[in-house]
Amino acid sequence: TVAPSNATDKSLTWSSDNPQVASVDANGLVTIHKKGKARVTARANDGSGRYDACDFNVIMTVGNETVDGLRVYAAGSALYLTLPTAETVHIYNVHGAMVKTLFLSAGDH
């Protein structure tokens, strides 16, 4: 929120110092990409020099990491997984809570 409420220019410029970890769009929507640290800053465009920032320390990502050669597919009521190399696999429920951890060898599961 930009104050005072009667400010003539309430627009902001958003930026990230590490967009590989966390990017931010023109509306301030932050998207997390991978583990790491990033600072997202909102700067007032009115020439006042005012700004505020938020530091992100991403310690874990869920569902947005890429593993080359990974294949996941459903058939009937089962979910199948093909891994190119042995991996530790974490299974999460729809609420983001981890429900199981498995160490799987390369191949079909």
Identify whether 41 is part of a domain: yes
Measuring CA to CA, which residue among 72, 101, 99, 103 is closest to residue 87? 103
Residue 25 predicted with pLDDT over 60: yes
CA distance 106 to 86: 5
Q: How confident is the model at residue 20 (pLDDT cuts 50, 70, 90)?
A: very high
Asked if 18 and 54 sit in the same domain, the reply is yes
- Give the pLDDT score at 60: 74
Residue 24 forms beta bridges with which residues?
A: 30
Q: Output the pLDDT for position 31.
A: 86
DSSP secondary structure string, 12-60? EEEEES-TTTEEE-TT--EEE-SSEEEEEEEEESSSS--EEEEEEEE--
**Domain check: are 53 and 16 in the same one?**
yes
Do residues 80 and 54 both lie within one domain?
no
- pLDDT given for residue 41 in this prediction: 93
pLDDT value of residue 17:
98
Q: Is residue 5 part of a domain?
A: no
Residue 50 lies in a domain: yes
Res. 62 pLDDT band, cuts 50 70 90: low
pLDDT at residue 39 in the model: 93
Count of structural domains, the chain: 2
Q: Can you tell me the distance from the alpha carbon of 58 to that of 78, in angstroms, rounded to the nearest whole number?
A: 31
| Token pair of 36 as six digits | 């790491």
First to last CA, the chain: 50
Q: Is residue 47 part of a domain?
A: yes
Rounded Cα distance between 95 and 97, Å, is 6
Same-domain pairing of 52 and 17: yes
Return the pLDDT at 27.
86
Residues 78 and 104 in one domain: yes
For 89, the domain range is: 71-108
